[in-house]
Structure 1
């Protein structure tokens, strides 16, 4: 079947899928044996309402998690972009460091969490450090690839026009890497949340991850799902913010045609 990709039709199908999932979840949770494992959507909603509007005790935990996430996102993005540009423009250095970068990237990040707790303590910085290791490499490899993908013809033309190294960086390499950077940022938002929450799991007295861990300890599956929903909404909001900034900065990029057919 062929659907017109108008925004209204897309929203309709998205809402239909979401409604179907929620209705199926509600019907399945009518059985107590099933509800023990998947929770009940109405109770999950009541937990969220209680957290956000009645007791309002979740905001301090949410603030801690968001602070860890934003710090990790910023540090990882800046560091990954800088290192990606440097190694992309320094082929010899990249060849020398290549095995070390691949080794560190292949290392399971979770095993670093106890080390970061020893180095930075149980405060926010151990969680930030863990999340930075997740964000950094995603941004780094995208920027590095973006620099390597610069057209030789464009470089030759810029050099013929007398562009020096700094001008090439500003007018050729950075614009080429920008689309790769924003592509990586959409993935990095979720990874920053993952790093922060995993860090809170392993040692914390604050944060949404801590609330979820406490609920798991008492087999309160509804509170666990409430925490998951809250984190998901926050991650989607940050991703939408990244998309908004992307649209403002990359005005030269052609827009998708809503009249296309799929």
Structure 2
């Protein structure tokens, strides 16, 4: 005599099928996104190859490479710098100075921009008081400030960090200010009714709500940090990539100018990837695009 088989309730079977379908849709969305990423990178590679090839041919047969250089000469200059160094020391040493200036100024400018942006964003009265001063300071040309900082602090690293701080501060400040202003007033009022004080509201509601605004500004801010370091070194320095670019300009070395620009660009892209990774970890609570699309089906 065989014992009767016990089947799962229809509701349980429905839940299992729903979970399997959702997992399949997620896997398909990830696979589709991965394939689209491969196509994007392939198209980018083709664009770069066509651009460099056309530049090389044009500079060889149509235009003077003394003024416009060409990819082969830029590649030779990069090999020379990394293999034999420059007349101002190792290229790694110069990269290190620029990265140090940009990183230090970025950290100081970011902290100052977040603190003042959030505080003024939550205080309408203080925002009204300081608004014209902030706008006036933001309107001052950065190249003028770089020259002024060199007079104040000399040709050392301090003047470059000061230039970086000024550029980074305003990029972060306005985003932090807007993020603090955009906090839902109903949420803040409910928290006050429940007994939350100003510090608790600031740390538990305002800062988390402004995090997306702040993190989005960091991508632009580090680019400004590198620009500030290069501008400061270009105005006057003993080390750094900006100084190498300025020296290449003074000696009509167009290949050296492009080589310095490429190195700075690579550093900026590496920093961008680090910031993006940190942003993704800090914003794990946000639903992914694939999950959002599936839920909307």
1:259/1:89 CA distance change after superposition, 3 Å: closer
Match in the other structure for 2:71: 41
TM-score (norm 2): 0.82
Structure 1 position 259, deviation (Å): 11
Shift of 1:68: 0.5
Equivalent in the alignment of 2:240: 207
Query: Corresponding residue for 1:115?
Result: 148
Question: Residue in 1 aligned with 2:115?
Answer: 82
Structure showing greater relative contact order (alpha-carbon pairs closer than 8 Å, 6 or more residues apart)? 1
The range that moved more, 32-41 or 87-96, is 32-41
**What is the aligned partner in structure 1 of residue 51 from structure 2?**
21
TM value normalised by structure 1: 0.92
Alignment of 1:150 onto 2:168: no
**Other structure's SS at 2:239 match:** coil
Alpha-carbon offset, residue 81 of structure 1: 0.5
Query: Is 1:31 paired with 2:64?
Result: no
How far does residue 55 in structure 1 lie from its aligned partner after superposition?
A: 3.8
Contact 1:72–1:128, Cα closer than 8 Å, also in 2: yes
1:105 aligns with 2:138: yes
C-alpha change, 1:142 and 1:54, in structure 2 (3 Å) is same
Gaps of 5+ in 2: 1-31
In the comparison of the two structures, how many residue pairs are matched?
257
CA 241–32 in structure 1, closer or farther in 2 if over 3 Å, else same: same
Deviates more, 1:226-235 or 1:164-173: 164-173
Structure 1, unpaired ranges of 5+: none
| Residue 259 to residue 247, structure 1, CA distance change in 2 (3 Å) | closer
Query: Post-superposition shift, 1:70?
Result: 0.5
Q: Is the 8 A contact 1:134 1:192 kept in 2?
A: yes
Higher Cα Rg: structure 1 or 2? 2
Query: Counterpart in 1 of 2:4?
Result: none
2:97 is aligned with 1:64: yes
- Separation in 1, partners of 2:137, 2:181: 21
Q: 2:199 aligns with which of 148, 155, 166?
A: 166
Moved more, 49-58 or 69-78: 49-58
Query: Any idea what SS the aligned residue of 1:29 has?
Result: helix
RMSD after superposition: 1.9
Alpha-carbon offset, residue 113 of structure 1: 1.7
Change (3 A) 1:80 1:201: same
Deviations 1:69-109 (A, max 9, x none): 10111111011011101111221111011111111111111
Query: How far apart are the structure 1 equivalents of 2:93 and 2:269?
Result: 20
Question: CA separation of 1:195/1:107 partners in 2, compared to 1, >3 Å: closer, same or farther?
Answer: same
8 Å contact kept, 1:7–1:258:
no
Q: Decide whether the 8 Å contact of 1:134 with 1:191 is kept in 2.
A: yes
1:219 Cα deviation after fit: 0.8
Aligned CA distance change for structure 1 residues 230 and 203 (closer, same or farther; 3 Å): same
| Structure 2: distance between partners of 1:246 and 1:138 | 17
